[in-house]
Amino acid sequence: MKKKLLKALSLIFIFNLILTVPKIEVQAQDYWPSSVDVTAEAAIVMEEETGAILYSKNMDDVHYPASITKIMTALVVLENCDLDETVTFSAEAVYGTELGSSSIARDVNEEMTVEQTLYGMMLESANECAYALGEHVAGDINSFVDMMNAKAKELGCKNTHFNNSNGLPDDEHYTSAYDMALIARAAYKIPKFAEIVGTKNYTIPPTNKHSEPTMLNNHHCMLHYFKTNQYLYEYCLGGKTGYTDVARSTLVTYAKKDGMTLVCVVLKDQTGEQYVDTTNLFEYCYDNFTKYHVSDFASISEDNTDITGKLSEKSELIKIDKKGLIVIPKAASILDVTSSVVPYKDDTNKAVVGQLQYSYAGRNVGYANLLFTNAETGSYPFDNLPVEQGGSGKDYIQVNYVKIGLIILIIIAVAAVIMFIKSKSSSILLFRHRFKAKHYRQPKTNMTIIRNNGKKRRRRR
């Protein structure tokens, strides 16, 4: 009952927002920077926080991913395992991968932690590590592949199907640049994943099968000079490489500059050119785009209702999260941005009741969450959520069910009184009729009574 009541209130608020948030007319609909090209057959650059697509080339075309598949493998593992769990390498993991493919030469029944195995898979692209992790999580590799495909669907991938955990050639194993960017963006939100892909080298200590430590090096040439320093990029945060004869060179890279984190994916590129293409795309985006937080809007425009809508500071129950942001071309103005209310798809954060979706030139360029306020005016019975639950202490609230219960009881009591009065209305009307009959003259009949000498005599009229 409590959840239904809160949901009903949320729906009412969202409906009102849809009616009240203004739309701003776009003044530069056709402008979008497009002066860069790449040799890769497909490519995309996505802003990590908003998901805004800053550049794309054939982003929905299907290609083989090769070892960037392991980003999805790592994502599923990290969502389903503790890092200190023990991974045991089966004969299928050791011998079931293609001969001569990437490996760190593990032995049957060798034991490592999940964390160590992840480093082996992501830095050295070890295929037996990817296989062993899949078996560890799901019991067998086919079940793990099902988990990978389910996660891809959950993220909104439309042109992706996995058939193994390592990316070795398979006709039923493919993706697109856009889908891979969605996967890479989701994985990077996990701090341990970001730490692993940004690590230049790592040492696996001796195991039950290897008496010597195993040294690992990150193969991403924009981050680490393991093979060459020709492609080093100072803003690179890490990523994952891939290559097979059919996939050619594939690459996922993260970079951060001027407070903006970007994810770049290139598919079916020429060897060496994947780094050149990625670097050029990053520089193009950093040169041509900038990021604004909602909290910055007021400093740009005295009347910030153009961006945040009239409810921003005037609603007692809902306000816009100031941590929301947009990414637009540097030559554009935030006044060229439109806003509209959309549903919030993540049910885990109950304080968020919707989102403002920002668009520019027909493209989604950012969002801001719509939050319950603490209703300090007392108009509605809400209390703040604590900071340890992810709130700010002011922006996030919870329902005070005691106060709501009292309000409901008052409403029920009033309704009961009305029903009681209605049920007694007929008795009240009868009493009123008798009262009038007793205190007022009876109406004349067709007989007139006259008195004569103390006797009554009737006379017809």
Residue 294 near residue 371, CB atoms below 8 Å? no
Catalytic residue among 57, 70, 268, 319: 70
Q: pLDDT band at 243, cuts 50/70/90?
A: very high
DSSP 259: T
Residue 350: closest CA among 294, 309, 391: 391
Tell me the torsion sign for CA atoms 19, 22, 25, 27.
negative
Mean per-residue pLDDT of the chain: 82
Cβ neighbours of residue 152 under 8 Å, at least 6 residues apart?
72, 160, 161, 162, 179, 183
Predicted confidence (pLDDT) at residue 336 exceeds the cutoff of 80: yes
Token duo for residue 294:
């909602």
Spatial distance between the Cα atoms of 318 and 311, rounded to a whole number of angstroms: 8
Using N-to-C axis directions, what is the helix angle for 425-439 and 401-423, rounded to 10°? 40
pLDDT given at position 244: 96
Question: Is the whole model's pTM more than 0.85, yes or no?
Answer: no
pLDDT in tens, 426-445: 566 556 656 555 555 555 44
For the chain, domains (ranges, CATH) are 50-240 (3.40.710.10), 407-460 (no CATH)
Cα–Cα distances (Å) from 402 to 286, 316, 407, in that order, read 52, 20, 9
Q: pLDDT band at 338, cuts 50/70/90?
A: confident
pLDDT given at position 429: 59
Q: Is 308 exposed, middle or buried (0-12, 13-18, 19+ CB in 10 A)?
A: buried
Helix (H, G, I), strand (E, B) or coil at 439: helix
User: Is 103 in the active site?
Assistant: no
pLDDT given at position 195: 98
Predicted confidence (pLDDT) at residue 18 exceeds the cutoff of 90: no
Predicted confidence (pLDDT) at residue 392 exceeds the cutoff of 70: no
pLDDT given at position 186: 98
Predicted confidence (pLDDT) at residue 446 exceeds the cutoff of 90: no
Cα–Cα distances (Å) from 214 to 43, 99, 124, 200, in that order, read 35, 20, 11, 14
pLDDT given at position 262: 98
Residue identified by tokens 């009729």 is: 433
Catalytic residue among 102, 125, 176, 359: 125
Spatial distance between the Cα atoms of 258 and 91, rounded to a whole number of angstroms: 48
Amino acid residing at 218:
N
Predicted confidence (pLDDT) at residue 45 exceeds the cutoff of 90: yes
240 is in an annotated binding site: yes
pLDDT given at position 401: 61
DSSP 322: T
More confident residue, 355 or 274: 274
Catalytic residue among 67, 102, 339, 359: 67
Residue 372: closest CA among 293, 319, 328, 423: 319
Predicted confidence (pLDDT) at residue 354 exceeds the cutoff of 50: yes
